[in-house]
Chain A
Amino acid sequence: MTPGTALSLARPVRDRAARVPAFANGAAGEAPGDSEDEAAGLLAALGGAAVLLGADLGVDLLTEAAARLLGVAAHPTGAGEKLKDLLDRSHLGPAARQALGSLARLDGKGSACLRSGAGAKILARRVALPHRRTALLLTPDRPPPEAPLGQHADPLTGLADRAGFIAAVTARLGQTPAEGGGAFGVLVLDLDRFHVVNDTLGPAIGDQVLIAVAARLRAALRAGDLPARLNGDEFAVLIHAGTGVAELEALARRLMDTLGRPYLPDGQPVSLSLSVGIARAPEDGTAADTLLRRAAIALHAAKAAGRARLAAFTPEMQARSETRRQMETDLRRAFALRQFELHYQPQVELPDNRLFGFEALLRWRHPARGFIPPDQFVPVAEEVGLIAPIGAWVLAAACAEATRWPAPLTVAVNVSGLQFEQGDLLGAVASALDRTGLAPERLEIEITESALLVNPEATLGILHQLRERGVRIAMDDFGTGYSSLTRLQSFPFDRIKIDRSFVSGRRGLAEGRAIVRAIAGLGASLGMRTIAEGVETEEQLASVRAEGCTEVQGYLFGRPAAVCDLPAVIAGFGRRAAQVTEIPV
């Protein structure tokens, strides 16, 4: 074997022939050099940091890990280097060099704690070997401090930025246990609804809060943990030690407590909560981007379960996330390829069963999976920010279709609560009406009660502006959620839609009837029309009519129909009405 060729060894320093006599009195049969090579190979394989010294304190072997710890080149530096010379070219300070030199000269076992030039502590242990040889085993007491961030610093907070964090995680993944590597944790932290701070108090205050969050984060961590700002209000931490799930969760809870306390930017109190996702190396990944992505998946799960929570990554989360991502890809494609269609279900006025309009219902015709119901894809569309463009398309298409119907037939369009927050709902309605020329009073916007929960003032403001334009507003699915009388009173709705579950008797016939009666009574006293959904049988029709509903919708009067079938549906209602008027009373 040629010196210097052994894999990952900074190999010897002295010439084998010169060394042999020192070992020649060893056991017969086996060249001591071979067993030394084996020992060296073993050390290297274990990734250990060790310096093997001969009787004269010449360096026989320097493992790559030891070279890194001492800050010396890992390549051979010439034959016969003395320990003293090795230490002189290391980055150890004079005191540490002296301590290590004394340790090497000791008889028997001993240890010393050294401080390297980079500020990291190194624990050195002396092990006496046969033939007056010595091994110095080095372990980092802590990982060396992170290299100065330089261009990887986030300019606002001074924390590491995303690239710096990924570099640090990657470096950490490359470290062996002996170098302070091994298991570690990655936390991703997200400030809940931080955009509200920016929107209401302005970005300058938002920045002050981010700076304060970063300072608290830094102060809450132990030396060796690396905090970073990934982007916007998303932070991450590399957790060096204490990496069991329970320990990481306890740390996450501590951070949620500290960082979730009030801030005083510019003297104004700001309250925040945060959500945390946890991933662990190596269990959850052995590449930086995998770990970060999985921590983000866990974060997402924590947020989905309600904010101000934490979650540790599990493989089930990965599966759910993949399904969702596939759905997202399909949705974006569907939008581009116009795979969405609107179907229209007749809405009928009592007591004479007169058609007064249609509810537009979104359908997605997936090329492989057929029709996908909205409850399966709308939540994903909301999550990925597609709901505003899809919602705008629905408004435009529904208004365009309604212009082809005889006036005054109306079209009802469902609007997601998120369209009030994310999209320009007023603009979308205005453009749909202007472009199609549909009379505003022929358009009805259906909102659910939950849309009024998030930001009631802003939402009510938009509803009033829609109303000023002449558009009608209906409260959808009433009875299923909070069913707050206060919310019903907060806006003069034109119509209350009674959820189908009360009509179908699924919640108990008597109970369903009682609720239908109560809502119909409420509507009557508030001057709002009430429409019962899901009416499928004559008995149900008789029941909701008896309880006072003014309108119905359901399979009894027609399923949602494609655009091409609508003329026939409308004509059918015309004939029925004609029959009714022709029958002598």
Chain B
Amino acid sequence: MTPPPLHRVIYVSRSRIGGTEARLRAEIDAILAVARPRNAAENITGALLFTRTGFAQALEGPLAAVQATFERIQRDPRHGDVLVLASEPAGQRLFAGWAMADAGLVAGTHPLLSAASPAAAPVLTLLRDLAREAEHLPVV
């Protein structure tokens, strides 16, 4: 049986988590702790990057699972001003093995993410590079 076609979404959003860097880190850990088992179960892979002011995330998997995950993320009050950079069929997984790679905290505001409408491709490359750098081992 052929697996369902892959879909990938890349978005950026503004963080609504206030307080210290430690608080931000704790929230991100909480987000990942919830997201990873669920993503693994739903065959979703991807990476999450955060700065003091915002998030960038890539989600890839079967369309229905990506839609459901994206919808869940939209209901999260910890961010807002969501901007979808790309939502398209994907030939292959770029984050295979990562139920949600922690691309980590980028100091300050990353120029790629603070642009009025960032381009999808460089954000995706950034996510991928940071994910590889930050997590030496795939997370299952």
Q: Are B88 and A267 in contact (CB under 8 A)?
A: yes
Give the docked Cα–Cα distance between A257 and B82 (Å).
10
Q: A261-B82, A262-B82, A262-B84 are in contact. Are A267 and B74 (CB under 8 A)?
A: no
Of B23-31, B37-45, B64-72, the one contacting chain A is: B64-72
Contact A267 B67, CB 8 Å, known A257-B80, A262-B82: yes
Min Cβ gap B26→A in Å is: 24
How long is the Cα–Cα vector from A266 to B66 in the complex, in angstroms?
10
Among A212, A258, A264, A268, chain B packs the most CB atoms within 10 A around the CB of A264
Residues of chain B in range 52-82 having any CB-CB distance to chain A below 8 Å: 63, 66-67, 70-71, 74-75, 80, 82
Q: A261-B82, A262-B82, A266-B63 are in contact. List 6 more A-B contacts (CB 8 A).
A: A216-B75, A258-B75, A261-B80, A267-B67, A267-B89, A269-B9
The 7 closest A-B pairs by CB, nearest first: A269-B84, A261-B74, A269-B87, A262-B84, A261-B82, A264-B67, A264-B70
Nearest neighbor of B83 in chain A, beta-carbon distance = A262
Chain A's interface size range is: 10 to 19
| Interface check A220, CB cutoff 8 A | yes
**Per-residue interface assignment for chain B, residues 8 to 33, with 1 indicating a CB less than 8 Å from any chain A CB and 0 otherwise:** 01010000000000000000000000
Pick the contact of B71: A264, A269, A271 (CB < 8 A): A264
Is there an interface contact between B80 and A262, defined as CB atoms closer than 8 Å? no
Residue of A nearest to B13 (CB): A261
Give A164 to B20 CA distance when docked, in angstroms.
48
Residue A571 at the B interface, CB < 8 A?
no
- Flag whether A147 is at the interface (Cβ < 8 A): no
A340, B105: Cα distance in complex, Å: 67
Inter-chain CA distance A212–B70, complex, in Å, is: 12
Between B11, B71, B83, the greatest number of chain A beta carbons within 10 A of the residue's beta carbon is seen for B71
In this complex, what residue of B is CB-closest to A258?
B75
Supposing A262-B11, A262-B82, A262-B84 touch, asked if A267 and B75 sit within 8 A by C-beta, the answer is no
In angstroms, Cα B9 to Cα A51, docked, is 60
Q: Which residues of B line the A interface, CB within 8 A?
A: 7, 9, 11, 63, 66-67, 70-71, 74-75, 80, 82-84, 87-89
- Cβ proximity bits A208-235 to B, threshold 8 Å, 1 near / 0 not: 0000100110011000000000000000
Q: How far is the CA of A215 from the CA of B87 in the complex (A)?
A: 21
A267 touches B11 (CB 8 A): no
Within the complex, what minimum Cβ distance (angstroms) separates A89 from chain B?
43
Specify which chain B residues have a CB less than 8 angstroms from the CB of A220 in the assembled complex.
Answer: 75
Given contacts A257-B80, A267-B63, are A262 and B74 in contact (CB under 8 A)? yes
CB neighbours (8 Å) of B83 from chain A are 262
Beta-carbon nearest neighbor of B70 in chain A:
A264
Q: List 27 A-B contacts (CB under 8 A).
A: A212-B71, A215-B71, A216-B75, A219-B75, A220-B75, A258-B74, A258-B75, A261-B80, A261-B82, A262-B84, A263-B71, A263-B74, A264-B9, A264-B66, A264-B67, A264-B70, A264-B71, A264-B87, A266-B63, A267-B7, A267-B63, A267-B66, A267-B87, A267-B88, A269-B84, A269-B87, A271-B84
Q: Which residues of A contact B82 (CB under 8 A)?
A: 261-262
Chain A residues near B7 (CB, 8 Å)?
267
Compute how far the CA of A212 lies from the CA of B89 in the bound complex, rounded to whole angstroms: 21
Digit string of A244-275 for contact with B (CB within 8 Å is 1, else 0)? 00000000000001100111101111010000
Q: A568 vs B131: C-alpha distance in the bound complex, in angstroms?
A: 83
Give the total number of A-B pairs whose CB atoms are below 8 A apart. 40
A278–B83 CA distance with the chains assembled, in angstroms: 28
CA distance A263 to B11 in the complex (A): 12
Main secondary structure of the interface of B (DSSP, over half): strand
Chain A contacts of B87 at CB under 8 A? 264, 267-269
Residues in B neighbouring A267, C-beta threshold 8 A: 7, 63, 66-67, 87-89
Closest chain B residue to A259 by CB distance? B74
| Nearest B residue to A216, CB-CB | B75
Please provide the chain A residues from 291 to 344 with a CB less than 8 Å away from any CB of chain B in the complex.
none
Residues of B within 8 Å of A263, CB to CB, are: 71, 74
Residue of A nearest to B85 (CB): A269
Which chain A residue has the least Cβ–Cβ distance from B79?
Answer: A261
Distance (Å) between the CB of A561 and the closest chain B CB? 52
For the complex, what is the distance from the CA of A412 to the CA of B11, rounded to whole Å? 49
Report the separation of the CA atoms of residues A55 and B139 in the bound assembly, to the nearest whole angstrom. Answer: 70
What is the bound-complex CA distance between A28 and B136, given in angstroms? 92
* Residues of the B chain whose Cβ atoms lie less than 8 Å from the Cβ of A262: 11, 74, 82-84
Task: Report the bound CA distance from A78 to B72 in whole Å.
Answer: 56
Nearest CB of chain B from residue A273's CB, rounded to whole Å: 12
Which residue of chain B lies nearest to A266 when distances are taken between CB atoms in the complex? B63
Q: How far is the CA of A258 from the CA of B76 in the complex (A)?
A: 9
Interface 1/0 per residue, A533-550 and B, CB below 8 Å: 000000000000000000
**B11 to chain A: which residues have CB within 8 Å?**
262
Question: What's the least CB distance linking A552 to chain B, in Å?
Answer: 44
**Please, how many angstroms separate the alpha-carbon atoms of A16 and B71 in the complex?**
65
Q: How far, in whole Å, are A267 and B9 apart by their CA atoms in the complex?
A: 8
Residues of A within 8 A of B9 (CB): 264, 269
Given the complex, which residues of B lie within 8 Å of A261, measured CB to CB? 74, 80, 82
The CA of A268 and the CA of B89, in the complex, are separated in Å by 10
How many whole Å from B4's CB to the nearest CB in chain A? 12
Q: What A residues does B75 contact at CB under 8 A?
A: 216, 219-220, 258
Q: What B residues does A212 contact at CB under 8 A?
A: 71
Chain B, residue nearest A254 (CB): B77
- Chain B, residue nearest A269 (CB): B84
User: Taking CB as reference atom, which chain B residue is nearest A215?
Assistant: B71
Q: Which one of A220, A267, A271 has the greatest number of beta carbons of chain B within 10 Å?
A: A267
A280 to chain B, nearest CB (A): 25
Closest Cβ of chain B to A227, distance in Å, is: 15
B67 CB contacts on chain A under 8 angstroms: 264, 267
Across the interface, do B74 and A216 meet the contact criterion of CB distance under 8 Å? yes
Query: In the complex, A572 Cα to B94 Cα: how many Å?
Result: 80
Residue of A nearest to B9 (CB): A264
Q: Give Cα distance in the complex from A258 to B74, angstroms.
A: 7
Q: Which residues of A contact B88 (CB under 8 A)?
A: 267
Minimum distance in angstroms from B49 CB to a CB of chain A: 18
Whole-angstrom distance between the alpha carbons of A181 and B88 in the complex? 49
Question: With A and B bound together, what is the CA distance between A506 and B116 in angstroms?
Answer: 40
Contacts of A257 in B (CB 8 A): 80
Nearest CB on B from A407, distance (A): 53
Residues of B within 8 A of A258 (CB): 74-75
Q: Mark A135-152, 1 if CB is under 8 A from B, else 0.
A: 000000000000000000
CA distance A212 to B87 in the complex (A): 17
Residue of A nearest to B68 (CB): A264
CB distance from A425 to the nearest CB of B (A): 33
